[in-house]
Amino acid sequence: MNKVLAGRILIIDDNQQILESLQMLLKYEFKEIVCKQHPSEIVEKLVVNPFDVILLDMNFKNPNNTGKEGLFWLCEILKRDPLAVVILITAYGDISLAVQAIKDGATDFVTKPWDSDKLIITLKNALELRLNKLKVKKLQGSQAILRGDIDKHFQLFKGSSKSMEEVYRTIEKVASTDANVLIYGENGTGKELIARELHRKSNRADETFIGVDLGSISETLFESELFGHIKGAFTDAREDRAGRFEIATGGTLFMDEVSNLPFAQQSKLLTVLQNRIITRLGSNTQIPIDIRLITATNRNLEEMIRNSSFREDLFYRINTITIHLPPLRERKEDIQGLAEFFIKQYSLKYDKPNIELSTRALDALQKHKWPGNIRELKHTIEKSIILCDSDKIQPADLGLRYDVSLARASDNQSLSESEKQTIINALEKAKGNLSLAAKTLEISRTTLYAKIQKYNL
């Protein structure tokens, strides 16, 4: 006896003898065989109880025997289950009808009388096709979930500063186009977030977003990483591998730190962008690509052109549209909103609901210079959520005490006022424990006593 396969087979034919014959033939080959004499008995139930393969007769006591009734029910089945695998059966070897059936979505076409062995093979192949369709659907669903999770991770906080409003207006104007975009901004200003927002609002949003940090790719691996390679192209090339351009085809390719690209490699990148064709390392086969290119840098490319370290023709190729991201110190009005945005994220992550900023903590955030920009603010808030012992984040939780002093001094406040505030922050963090406060301040307990008396604390 053959091994029973997993698979539910539905047979629809108005001839009872044919149904009984197929039932006997197939019952040892598949898990379940269901026989019906007319599609109307089963079609509505396919939504909740689908079959793996459907054998559908094309004529149901129709005196014309044109096969049109079978084509009609084929379409009805596919409406209920778009992934249905349907094999049509008829007593007439009408090639034009077979072609029409395949065009309408049928998987295969067999004629009566059939060869039993060939029919079984056809059904097994059809079952394999159905399983593959379901796997693809599951994979697509998983990819959609992953894209959603990634989008949540890279969620963009818009803010209300005038400089960022201009950035958002530019995004709205250019996102739906395929224009190349160059994003300027200091480290930590959110260049990748802007790139992802452009992708989310583009016509390629359902396709892949691929990011690559050119500063992290060595010159020897540049071609392999970006264009791919074939097995044996170099010592460690043990299998064929697609590059970033090929993987991103149909979607968006984000090239961060484009200013770090060695001058010798810039011409290769330019050629690819001009011709929209790549060749894997070690291969002669040309592969067309279809990408939307977004690049980013924290350096002045025009100055690099003057210094002969960046190609002018490549510069004009990548900056059809330019977006300048302001540093956080130039958009102070967004600090409170950004801080609250990150507090919401990390209070959930660390199961510390209802945490908020104290007035003095917000003041400290707004006076800090933020050399690390939004990335530094994000890490500061995460750290403060972890260290906070109450439902209000205090200045000492932020870990900015030295920066606060410098910020206050730069705002024309006296050093003594800055020192006083630093001591207050340390005492609050230590909850009045002088030894712990002194340790935090890296001064002796005696010195702390003196400071407390000095500032009447």
- CATH number, domain at 110? 3.40.50.2300
Contact predicate 205/176, CB 8 Å: no
Report the DSSP pairing between strands 108-111 and 228-229.
unpaired
Q: How far is 346 from 335, CA to CA, in rounded Å?
A: 16
Residue 62 counted as domain residue: yes
Name residues whose C-beta falls within 8 Å of residue 13's C-beta, 6 or more positions apart in sequence.
19, 22, 35, 37, 55, 57, 89
**Judgement on whether residues 13 and 100 belong to the same structural domain of the protein:** yes
Query: How many domains are there within the chain?
Result: 3
**Across the strands, what pairs with 296?**
183
Residue 257 counted as domain residue: yes
**82-109: burial string, b at 16+ Cβ within 10 Å, e else:** eebbbbbbbeeebeebbebbeeebbbbb
Residue 410 counted as domain residue: yes
**Judgement on whether residues 218 and 367 belong to the same structural domain of the protein:** no
Residue 147 counted as domain residue: no
pLDDT at 313 (0 to 100): 95
Residue 343 has pLDDT above 90, yes or no: yes
**Judgement on whether residues 305 and 400 belong to the same structural domain of the protein:** no
pTM of the model: 0.60
pLDDT at 426 (0 to 100): 80
Residue 278 has pLDDT above 70, yes or no: yes
Instruction: State the Cα angle at 407 between 406 and 413, rounded to 5°.
Output: 90
> Where does the pLDDT of residue 453 fall: very low under 50, low under 70, confident under 90, or very high at 90 and above?
confident
**Across the strands, what pairs with 182?**
295, 322
Q: Which helix (H) or strand (E) holds 314?
A: helix 312-318
**Judgement on whether residues 103 and 193 belong to the same structural domain of the protein:** no
Task: State the Rg of the chain over Cα.
Answer: 33
Residue 61 has pLDDT above 80, yes or no: no
**Judgement on whether residues 184 and 281 belong to the same structural domain of the protein:** yes
> Where does the pLDDT of residue 48 fall: very low under 50, low under 70, confident under 90, or very high at 90 and above?
confident
Mean pLDDT, the chain, whole residue set: 84
**Judgement on whether residues 101 and 167 belong to the same structural domain of the protein:** no
**Judgement on whether residues 128 and 78 belong to the same structural domain of the protein:** yes
pLDDT tens-digit readout, 129-188: 998 888 877 666 655 545 554 555 556 677 788 999 999 999 999 999 999 999 999 999
Amino acid identity of 240?
D
Which stretches of 369-433 are DSSP H helices?
373-387, 395-398, 401-410, 415-429
Amino acid identity of 57?
D
**Judgement on whether residues 308 and 276 belong to the same structural domain of the protein:** yes
CB atoms within 10 A of CB 238: 8
pLDDT at 38 (0 to 100): 86
**Judgement on whether residues 250 and 352 belong to the same structural domain of the protein:** no
Give me the CATH number covering residue 243.
Answer: 3.40.50.300
CB atoms within 10 A of CB 406: 14
**Judgement on whether residues 39 and 100 belong to the same structural domain of the protein:** yes
Structural domain boundaries enclosing 318:
154-326
pLDDT tens-digit readout, 350-384: 898 889 999 999 999 999 989 899 999 999 999 89
Contact predicate 10/34, CB 8 Å: yes
**Judgement on whether residues 108 and 216 belong to the same structural domain of the protein:** no
Q: How far is 79 from 83, CA to CA, in rounded Å?
A: 9
